[in-house]
Structure 1
């Protein structure tokens, strides 16, 4: 990128302010359509020719994840979970396919704008699927150990995640709108994108803290000997553990990616981190691909049937919910009648302890 101090003032209109000069330079480079001596690759936002092979590899990887997600989603009817994973994979696929034309022409504006929007927004959709899992884990193990009513998890974290998406989208729109002639608008857009990603890291951190604390309480409950056969069986089930490890791995990969994005965007468009291709490939592309593949190939329909059945059947209750809630009631018996009545009065119908003789509980937890 040309620096202001390198420009011959005699070649410019008189009485330009620094901001007007920056806007003039931005407008000039926005008019570039291909690499030339006056439009060098070093002046592009990326500052390099993207590696064609790695972008084809990532495109194929996201395509495979998309196909697997759609297949398992249709087969097991886990519509909500699978839809968000599929949407995230589809956006990533569109983003990396759009990077392929940049390998021969980094000035291709349509390709650049498509890939930057798709790749920035896609992980937010993957987060929604991760957030949905905690509710079903709580309902299947012991809902009374959760400090938040399980049905509220999606209503807390999904809107927050959508807020992150909205802030980033607004930032992208501002940056795109100012790219032609208003460098300050581009800077404001960049700040909005950073704010959205920072908010996303905060939300992810909060979710990880709540989920981790719940699992520690469940582990203590299991090892105490108070848990019933169903909870112990589910906790030790290898398929359930594989699902938990996959979701946890996807969560960590997305969190690392978001932290990288904050550092990348903090220096503004075209900074040295943004122009380092391999840090982008590893900390953005590979991290999100790992998350997509884990969510695609370790789906609840195969490894967590309680969640899949609840999502597929809506109000019909999974047998494990009834047993798990019964065990929760049994384990809390030592609190006394007054304590149990007080605890029951604050819960929703789907979270109260159920008598041993009950076989069906109505639910509204179909998300």
Structure 2
């Protein structure tokens, strides 16, 4: 808290927290996030899922940084540098966990079949990763400006930028869930033949449990993002922002549980390969066309030593086929439909 002497002298230091953060609660979350980093890294090496593991570990490392700031705030609740560590780490860390979720979805689609998806594969990656990149950039900029400045106008600007970043992340998750629901409905209602090559995967109980864990992790991140959006929009000095219990449960615990689910039910255990480029089965964008036979070419006989025009003429007349009484109807052409164009 600011002293009366400081405020009377014209400088009143900014108050970030009105309470001392719990040392035990924040230290437990810090330790659990730190333990998950080597575990995820080892699983990524074992199951050849380096991109997924690196993305999750980046989010976990940022969470560790954030809760280091929380632990340090226990002794100095209004230290600006510690509060910046807390804000940057706990705000941007879950963004990378969301990116890891988006890495898994194309491989789930590849197991069931591309014909069930409700999006084009060329814009899936561009859309979601562009949204998360913009979200992370705005969260970083808004978090720094809203904490490093003391002017109320600059603080409000930083808070608005941070709110926009969190809102974009929430919109990305909402779009992701919407298309995932459409995909699930298509798998259950459409009469398409599943690829027998992956029958051992989509018929296994472990894969169904993995899908349940994947869905639950997504919902946990949605709850966390919605909560953090409300906290920032209300302001750092609001009652909801100053409630440590809500922060530990609706932010730290939600991210921790989502990451544990992705670690225990690691995608590489049930999916043949966690790299999207090797799993995606591309569908041809151009319709198949029937192969037309080459026109029949009679061999040249002009240079033959036994060639006589009269004999050839008589031979053609003798062996020419008779005209049929019924005209031959041309065979109907089958229209080739591009399955990719239906989407």
| Superposition TM-score, scaled by structure 1 size | 0.73
Task: Return the match for 1:281 from 248, 258, 274.
Answer: 248
CA distance in 2, matches of 1:301, 1:151: 23
Secondary structure at the counterpart of residue 168 of structure 1: helix
Task: Return the match for 1:215 from 178, 184, 192.
Answer: 184
Give structure 1 regions of 4+ aligned residues with deviation exceeding 6 angstroms: none
Which residue number corresponds to residue 183 of structure 1? 152
Secondary structure at the counterpart of residue 50 of structure 1: coil
> Following TM superposition, by how much is the alpha carbon of 1:258 offset from its aligned partner in structure 2, in angstroms?
0.8
Kindly report the root-mean-square deviation, in angstroms, between the aligned alpha carbons of the 2 structures: 2.9
CA contact (8 A) 2:80 2:148 kept: no
Alignment map for 1:1-367 (pairs within 5 Å): 27-30=11-14, 44-179=15-150, 182-221=151-190, 224=191, 226-227=193-194, 229-230=196-197, 233-305=200-272, 307-308=273-274, 310-311=275-276, 337-338=334-335, 340-343=336-339, 346=341
Larger helix fraction of residues = 1
Which residue number corresponds to residue 33 of structure 1? none
Which residue number corresponds to residue 295 of structure 2? none
CA contact (8 A) 1:68 1:297 kept: no
Q: Deviations 1:142-184 (Å, cap 9, x if unpaired)? A: 10121212353222211111111111112123213423xx111
Q: Deviations 1:181-238 (Å, cap 9, x if unpaired)? A: x1110111001111111111111101100111111101223xx584454455432322
Q: Deviations 1:228-261 (Å, cap 9, x if unpaired)? A: 5445543232222222222211111110001111
- Aligned length in residues: 294
CA distance in 2, matches of 1:124, 1:156: 15
CA contact (8 A) 2:111 2:202 kept: no
Q: Which runs of 5+ in 2 are unaligned?
A: 284-332
CA contact (8 A) 1:140 1:321 kept: no
CA distance in 2, matches of 1:137, 1:109: 44
CA distance in 2, matches of 1:321, 1:188: 46
CA contact (8 A) 1:121 1:169 kept: yes
CA distance in 2, matches of 1:11, 1:90: 42
CA distance in 2, matches of 1:76, 1:233: 18
CA contact (8 A) 2:43 2:266 kept: yes
